[in-house]
């Protein structure tokens, strides 16, 4: 078996915004807790001031012990107590900063995750038909974590390091020869320039790793969602090899990323070692010449170690910050996508009167070069039933999508009680329409939850009533867990007919004035079909009903039947009128009747 498809090139997603732009976009997520941010920053400043004060006290202790003074026994005790107090203050205010800022950090993650999920529901059906669930899931997971990471790095690492550097610089410039400050500034500047240059050079490896990780995750989830199809074609090895080939490319890029990171770490360590050594040489000379005390040597050494310790992690933090910004960029790019279908500025809620549905001169295409519907016009009066039949690809199901306004028309109008649906709010429109789709997909939850989904406020008696109307109550009761039976991913534990009856129960519970049946009995046997047809008649008795059907026997009582071919209505009339016309509908009817007789004869011969 070959695996040509796995060799396609992965596009590396590049950042669409600058890092500073992404950080600015993140600020509103912490703005709600500006008071907490201010207190956290104050606690951080106190903590760093105490930490910088430690070397100063240590200098006093060393000088006092080194001096030949009578108060040597008393003074170091006071300084030692101050030394301990400063370390305690540093520890207390560091932890206080973490506690105060925790609400800010996790609320920002909460708010961004909420906003992203809302955005995904706002985006059009076209976007969701093109998306890969695994890739989106991976990007969202990294994006949510990136908010916490960025806030963590900024507030707990970069800003504290900057504050500490400023305090150290102030002490060195105010109390020691300029050479100490110059060496410190030069070392820090060289370190930052080297870190930024090398990190930016190797960032493309991270971009490519993310892209390959998302692709592998998408392949794995896509295969698992289509588990039965994989098994039907015995393509387990194909799926595993496709996943493995992507991981092979990811592994190669990850090794390069790690190798270049080691190069970066080595360079950073070299710069820090040279800088600290230079400082110590100048300090030692000062002690020998008598310009500095032994305490000054200890102060400068301790201060440099305190400064370069977080600076040593600055490279790691900067890389992690850049990676987090790359991850966040994916989320912000998603948030900036414009919904294809929007409520107009003056959109009004649907005012239902009779529930009359009218399609006027509809033209529509998913791509300009491939027209789907051509000049479609028909009307469904209140309480009437219109059926739409025709071969696959004729555009029947597209009419249902357009009525729900999942897409906008190229030309024409769809009216409900003389109100153009393009001028109505989408929520009010969709609340008025119920549908039993051809392919019913259920949530991986209980049967009760899946039926109640149509009306979350419904009580259990309402759910049972809906199930009885849909002819599924007895089946549910015979299950070990009854209505609490979990149906599995996409409802895989139920048969096609059982899933369709759950969908019918949903419509019963929703009780909308307009109902669409899109091949609602396609997965049912003849006996169940008759039971469901009776149920559908009860459900749609007082509703405006559109039936998209393949089995013509299910629509013979329709008030009007539309026959579609190649996106056009080629015939219309009642069942008897269309049979009398002796055209395409009559041909389809005879063909299906012949097939039914053959199936009946085959069943009878098997019984004999």
Q: Final residue of a domain: which of 459, 484, 511?
A: 511
Check whether residue 33 and residue 127 sit in a common domain: yes
Report the C-alpha gap between 506 and 240 in whole angstroms: 38
Q: Coil, strand, or helix at residue 358?
A: strand
Nearest CA among 247, 237, 234, 192 for reference residue 3:
237
Percentage of the chain modeled with pLDDT above 70? 87
With beta carbons less than 8 A apart as the criterion, state whether 469 and 509 touch. no
Query: Does residue 531 lie within any of the structural domains?
Result: yes
Q: Each residue of 108-122: pLDDT tens digit?
A: 888 888 888 888 887
362: helix, strand or coil: strand
Domain-located, residue 7: no
What is the distance in angstroms between the CA of the first residue and the CA of the last residue of the chain? 45
C-alpha–C-alpha distance, residues 145 and 164, integer Å? 27
Domain that holds residue 355: 345-432+514-575
Looking at the structure, do residues 488 and 377 belong to the same domain, yes or no? Answer: no
CA nearest neighbour of 43 among 76, 7, 91 = 91
Q: Is residue 601 part of a domain?
A: no
Summarize pLDDT for 218-273 with one digit per residue, the tens: 888 888 878 777 887 788 888 999 999 999 999 998 898 888 888 888 888 888 88
Dist. CA 417–CA 357, nearest whole Å: 7
Whether residues 523 and 506 share a domain: the answer is no
- Give backbone dihedrals phi and psi of 70, rounded to 5 degrees, phi first: -70, -30
**Does 31 have pLDDT greater than 90?**
no
CATH number of residue 406's parent domain? 3.40.50.300
In a domain, 605, yes or no: no
Residue pair 434/507 in contact by the 8 Å Cβ criterion: yes
Select, from the ranges 103-107, 168-172, 187-191, 451-455, the one with the highest average predicted confidence (pLDDT): 451-455
Q: Are strands 560-565 and 385-389 parallel, antiparallel or unpaired?
A: parallel
Q: Are 238 and 303 in contact (CB under 8 A)?
A: no
Q: Say whether both 521 and 467 belong to one domain.
A: no
Domain boundary among 511, 526, 554: 511
Residue 188 lies in a domain: yes
Q: Report the candidate in 191, 156, 153 with the shortest Cα–Cα distance to residue 322.
A: 153
Say if 255 falls within a structural domain. yes
Banded model confidence at residue 607, pLDDT cuts 50, 70, 90: low
Looking at the structure, tell me whether residues 324 and 208 fall in a common domain. yes
**Given this model, what pLDDT does residue 3 score?**
39
CATH of residue 23:
1.20.1560.10
Cβ neighbours of residue 553 closer than 8 Å, sequence gap 6 or more: 592, 596
Residues 518, 507, single domain; the answer is: no
Residue 595 lies in a domain: no
Q: Which two tokens stand for residue 25?
A: 């976009």
Residue 584: inside a domain, yes or no? Answer: no
Q: How many domains are contained in the chain?
A: 3
Cα distances (Å, whole numbers) of residue 364 to 180, 402, 419, 548:
75, 9, 20, 18
Nearest to 233, CA basis, from 223, 242, 243, 222: 223
Whether the predicted model's global pTM rises above the 0.75 cut: no
Residues in contact with 568: Cβ distance below 8 Å, sequence separation at least 6, in sequence order: 374, 375, 376
Distance CA 396, CA 412 (A): 17
The residue-averaged pLDDT of 79-88 equals 87
Gap between the Cα atoms of 430 and 434, Å rounded:
8
- What is the rounded CA–CA span in Å between residue 476 and residue 67? 91
Residues 362 and 385 occupy one common structural domain: yes
Length reported for the chain: 608
Residue 519 and residue 507 share a domain: no
Q: Are residues 387 and 370 in the same domain?
A: yes
Answer whether residue 15 shows pLDDT above 60.
Answer: no
Whether residues 391 and 281 share a domain: the answer is no
The answer on 125 and 43 residing in a single domain is yes
For 600, list phi and psi in degrees, rounded to 5.
-65, -45
Task: Answer whether residue 9 shows pLDDT above 70.
Answer: no
Number of C-beta neighbours around residue 554 at 10 A: 23
Residue 314 confidence (pLDDT): 67
Same domain for 350 and 480? no
Q: How far apart are CA 480 and CA 245, in angstroms?
A: 43
């Amino acid at each position: 078996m070959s695996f040509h498809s796995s060799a396609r090139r992965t596009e590396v997603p590049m950042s669409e915004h600058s890092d500073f732009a992404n950080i600015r976009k993140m600020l509103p997520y912490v703005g709600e807790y500006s008071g907490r941010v201010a207190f956290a920053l104050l606690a951080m400043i106190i903590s760093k001031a105490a930490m910088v004060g430690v070397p100063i006290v240590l200098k006093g202790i060393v000088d006092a012990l080194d001096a030949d003074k009578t108060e040597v026994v008393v003074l170091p005790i006071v300084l030692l107590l101050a030394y301990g107090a400063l370390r305690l203050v540093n520890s207390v205010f560091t932890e206080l900063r973490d506690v105060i800022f925790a609400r800010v950090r996790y609320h920002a993650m909460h708010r961004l995750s909420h906003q992203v999920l809302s955005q995904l529901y706002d985006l059009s059906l076209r976007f969701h038909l093109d998306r890969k669930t695994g890739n989106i899931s991976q990007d969202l997971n990294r994006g949510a974590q990136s908010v916490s990471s960025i806030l963590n790095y900024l507030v707990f690492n970069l800003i504290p390091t900057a504050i500490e550097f400023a305090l150290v610089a102030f002490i060195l410039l105010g109390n020691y020869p300029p050479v100490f400050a110059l060496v410190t500034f030069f070392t820090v500047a060289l370190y930052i320039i080297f870190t930024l240059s090398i990190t930016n050079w190797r960032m493309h490896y991270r971009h490519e790793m993310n892209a390959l990780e998302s692709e592998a995750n998408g392949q794995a989830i896509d295969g698992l969602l289509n588990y039965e199809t994989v098994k039907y074609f015995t393509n387990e090895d194909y799926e595993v090899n496709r996943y493995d080939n992507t991981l092979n490319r990811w592994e190669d890029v990850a090794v390069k990323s790690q190798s270049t990171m080691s190069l970066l770490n080595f360079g950073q360590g070299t710069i820090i070692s040279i800088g600290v050594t230079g400082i110590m040489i100048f300090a030692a000379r000062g002690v020998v010449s008598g310009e500095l005390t032994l305490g000054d040597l200890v102060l400068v050494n301790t201060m440099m170690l305190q400064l370069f310790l977080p600076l040593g992690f600055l490279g790691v933090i900067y890389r992690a910050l850049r990676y987090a910004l790359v991850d966040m960029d994916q989320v912000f790019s998603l948030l900036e996508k414009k919904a294809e279908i929007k409520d107009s500025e003056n959109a009004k809620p649907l005012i239902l009167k009779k529930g009359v549905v009218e399609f006027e001169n509809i033209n529509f295409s998913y791509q300009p070069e491939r027209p789907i519907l051509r000049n479609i016009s028909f009307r469904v009066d209140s309480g009437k039933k219109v059926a739409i039949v025709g071969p696959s690809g004729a555009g029947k199901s597209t009419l249902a999508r357009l009525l729900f306004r999942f897409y906008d028309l190229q030309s024409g109008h769809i009216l409900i009680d003389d109100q153009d649906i393009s001028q109505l709010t989408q929520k009010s429109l969709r609340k008025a329409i119920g549908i039993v789709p051809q392919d019913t997909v259920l949530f991986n939850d209980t049967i009760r939850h899946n039926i109640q989904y149509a009306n979350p406020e419904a009580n259990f008696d309402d759910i049972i009533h809906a199930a009885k109307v849909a002819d599924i109550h007895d089946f549910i009761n015979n299950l070990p867990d009854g209505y609490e039976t979990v149906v599995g991913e996409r409802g895989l534990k139920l048969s096609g007919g059982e899933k369709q009856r759950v969908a019918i129960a949903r419509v019963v519970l929703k009780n909308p004035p307009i109902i669409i049946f899109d091949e609602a009995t396609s997965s049912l046997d003849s006996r169940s079909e008759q039971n469901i047809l009776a149920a559908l008649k009860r459900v749609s008795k007082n509703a405006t009903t559109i039936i998209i059907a393949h089995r013509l026997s299910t629509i013979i009582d329709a008030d009007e039947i539309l026959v579609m071919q190649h996106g056009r209505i080629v015939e219309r009339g009642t069942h008897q009128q269309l049979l009398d016309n002796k055209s395409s509908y009559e041909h389809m009817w005879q063909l299906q009747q012949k097939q039914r007789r053959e199936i009946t004869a085959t069943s009878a011969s098997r019984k004999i």
